[in-house]
Chain A
Amino acid sequence: MSAPKSVREIRDSVQSGTLDPVDLANSTLEAMEVEGRALGAVVSIDKTQAIRQAEDVRKRVCAGQVLPLAGVPVAVKDNICVSGQRTTCGSRMLEDYVSPFHATAVERLLAAGAVVVGKTNMDEFGMGSSTERSAFYPCKNPWDPKRTPGGSSGGSAAVVAAGIVPVALGSDTGGSIRQPAALTGTFGLKPTYGHVSRFGLVAFGSSLEQIGPIGKSADDAALVDTVISGFDPKDATSAHSIPGSRDEMRGLRGLRVGVLRDASDSSVDSPIREAIARTVARLEQGGANVIDVTLPTSKYAIATYYILANCEASSNLARHSGVHHGRRSNEVQDLNGLYSRSRGEGFGDEVKRRILLGTFCLSAASYDAFYDRAMRVRTLIQRDFDAAFRDVDILLSPTTPTLPFRLGEKLSDPIQMYLADVFTVAGSLAGIPGLSFPAGTAVVQGSILPIGLQLQGPPFSEGRLLSAASLLAEPATPGRTKSARSGGEA
């Protein structure tokens, strides 16, 4: 496959008439069908709708319209509604569910001239960190097909990393954009809570999740973020635009950077720790002021997240009852049987586990000990970040403790899988933006694997994060890296 074009190049070429959006849509659809499906990254493709969108873009451009994403092919995670297309959430429960409306983020992409070329595979209802919990099939990492691309937005990250599309939409509740971005060498942005409308995102953790872009470059992610973000009256948690949120930095000089240090450091793979050291050196050479920062409550972030996210999941997934939509069991005698049998058949093991945990934490005997305590610890976690951002402009940390892990490696132990999110959940709890960017590669058992690092900033500092990432990133492409810029074997 030829080198992928960037969002900006595609837009400018379509706008100038040198690239036909219908031709581009056709070639991308073929790549999604062949390479995307071979990776296990694709759930569904609606060619008719995609070509119709591309033809519409052609008409609009010929009529003189200037479209911010003219002709750009975008893949959409399968928990984000696209009208007339299946939205399965990677679940048998919604296997045949066809969305009757667009998510606001999708509406805005289409208004800007983008073309939706397919729905991507994911861990069921966003519950997972490897895309192995998809009810349909696992997704493979384009860097090494024996390894996972991470999750839950693994399909979206894989099609971007493989060069099939320049950008995809994912969703992030506790790390589900950032972690797969790190494991696939792409840029993944979890925006500030409220920055992007959640209307049309199938709910899992309503106080935590955000839709965001995964792209091959910070510029690609920034261009999509600009289009999809902003106030939406259909989302009661949507925020109005904040002045300065799109401000970019001109360089690293004077930037105050905090490097997160805590007890998790020793469990981080050595190539990732070496990438942190290289990035710190580059920051200092560029004139940034770098200090160590600790967040005292962060060691409780995993427990806090998994209490609150599971409680919200227990509540949110109650709507999937087999009555209004979704799978309905044929073997029911009464209404309660309809609920339990339909949901028992429709949900996978991890989803059932999390619903049960959430129900437990919200039950009368456990509410004070778990949910109430977690909500108070969440306050402490947010205060930690508020205090840190009085002294620094951005925080640097690993995105994940490990390089991409093998398919099946963590499936038998749910807690091991949960620990993949150790660096991302705290930012979700605080509602701050987080961006994973590629920071070189490492050689592991003969495979070249990507390394991702994370930047976090105060609320609505997406512009600052994207600028910093574009200055610091060491991007690479699977199959095209001849020598690894590495810290050696992991």
Chain B
Amino acid sequence: MTQSQRLDQLLKLSGLEVPPSERDGLLTDLDRIVSMMSTLQDLDLKLVPQWSPARVSAASLREDTPHTPFDRTAMMANTPEQEDGYYRVPKIVEDS
């Protein structure tokens, strides 16, 4: 896979697009930063477990009773396009 194809794949996975004029500069930056992050390869980590936030105590579970924590109208006030309480988006399923 070429660098450009790899970038296209990452952009697709990330749900992003960049102008063509910025691709080369972005590739150079990503390459340098990945190189910096690759220093962790120096370490022998076979016997080291993954970190977990052991110190933070688990919050209590709430009571299993229905409730409405937020007002729906207030929550949807920032929605770019809505209809009858639904989010409006471009058609996902094609007509047969």
Binding site for B on A (CB under 8 A): 96-98, 100-101, 193-194, 207, 231, 233, 235-240, 300, 302-304, 306-307, 314, 318, 321-328, 332-341, 343-344, 347, 349, 352-353, 355-357, 359-361, 363, 369-370, 372-380, 382, 414-415, 418, 429, 431, 459
Are the C-beta atoms of B90 and A355 separated by less than 8 Å? no
Tell whether A380 pairs with B39 under 8 Å between CB atoms, given A98-B77, A324-B79, A344-B16: no
CA distance A253 to B62 in the complex (A): 46
Give the residues in chain A near B45, CB-CB below 8 Å: 373, 376-377, 380
Give the residues in chain B near A323, CB-CB below 8 Å: 80, 87, 89
Are the C-beta atoms of A337 and B37 separated by less than 8 Å? no
CA distance A352 to B90 in the complex (A): 24
Are the C-beta atoms of A335 and B92 separated by less than 8 Å? yes
Are the C-beta atoms of A361 and B59 separated by less than 8 Å? no
**Nearest neighbor of A235 in chain B, beta-carbon distance:** B59
Report the 10 A-B pairs with minimum CB-CB distance, sorted nearest first. A328-B80, A378-B51, A344-B17, A325-B78, A100-B74, A339-B15, A375-B50, A376-B45, A376-B48, A194-B56
CA distance A360 to B36 in the complex (A): 14
- Range of interface residues on chain B? 35 or more
Distance (Å) between the CB of B79 and the closest chain A CB?
A: 6
Tell whether A353 pairs with B56 under 8 Å between CB atoms, given A100-B74, A300-B43: no
CA distance A359 to B18 in the complex (A): 15
Tell whether A335 pairs with B49 under 8 Å between CB atoms, given A100-B71, A341-B17, A343-B16: no
Are the C-beta atoms of B40 and A300 separated by less than 8 Å? yes
Distance (Å) between the CB of B9 and the closest chain A CB?
A: 8
CA distance A432 to B53 in the complex (A): 11
Tell whether A340 pairs with B56 under 8 Å between CB atoms, given A335-B89, A352-B18, A373-B43: no
Given A369-B38, A415-B32, A459-B55, 14 new contacts (CB under 8 A): A100-B75, A101-B74, A207-B53, A237-B59, A238-B56, A304-B40, A324-B87, A335-B92, A353-B29, A356-B7, A357-B33, A373-B43, A378-B51, A429-B51
Give the residues in chain B near A233, CB-CB below 8 Å: 59-60, 62
Distance (Å) between the CB of B44 and the closest chain A CB?
A: 10
Tell whether A97 pairs with B55 under 8 Å between CB atoms, given A318-B15, A323-B87, A335-B89: no
Are the C-beta atoms of B15 and A321 separated by less than 8 Å? yes
Give which listed residue, A193, A302, A327, contacts B36 with CB less than 8 A: A302
Are the C-beta atoms of B90 and A333 separated by less than 8 Å? yes
CA distance A338 to B87 in the complex (A): 13
Give the residues in chain A near B62, CB-CB below 8 Å: 233
Give which listed residue, B17, B51, B89, contacts A382 with CB less than 8 A: B51
Give the residues in chain A near B74, CB-CB below 8 Å: 100-101
6 chain-A/chain-B pairs, Cβ below 8 angstroms: A239-B56, A240-B57, A344-B18, A356-B7, A357-B30, A415-B36
Are the C-beta atoms of A415 and B33 separated by less than 8 Å? yes
Are the C-beta atoms of B14 and A307 separated by less than 8 Å? no
Give which listed residue, A100, A237, A369, A372, contacts B50 with CB less than 8 A: A372
